[in-house]
Amino acid sequence: MNPAPRPRPIRLVGYLLVDLFGFLCLALAVAWFAGGKGVILDSFPGSTAEAVASAGGGLVLIVWAIGRVLRELGRQAPPRPAGD
């Protein structure tokens, strides 16, 4: 029986940091839509197009990073018994 793969915490931390950056981008966009320019940062987003791009990019980063985290955790899970 092969041993379980070694955990790679550096990769997990990296994926979680990307996830947090995605949430920051999404939060900046939502704050701009809710309160207008300069709610969190003075210069970003400066327009509706920037806010939409920030929201879209943030969502893409969040989905990508969550998928990578789940894949990495799945590699570290113990193998399933043959009867399942």
Kindly report, residue by residue over 32-68, the tens digit of the pLDDT.
999 887 778 888 888 999 999 999 999 999 999 999 9
Q: Cα–chain-centroid distance for residue 21? A: 7
Mean pLDDT, the chain, as a whole number?
A: 88
Query: Domain residue spans in the chain?
Result: 10-76
Give how far Cα 57 sits from Cα of 11, 14, 19, 47, Å.
21, 17, 11, 15
- The span from the CA of 69 to the CA of 83, in Å, is 27
- 32, with CB counted inside 10 A (0-12, 13-18, 19+), is buried
pTM: 0.81
The H or E element spanning position 12 is helix 9-35
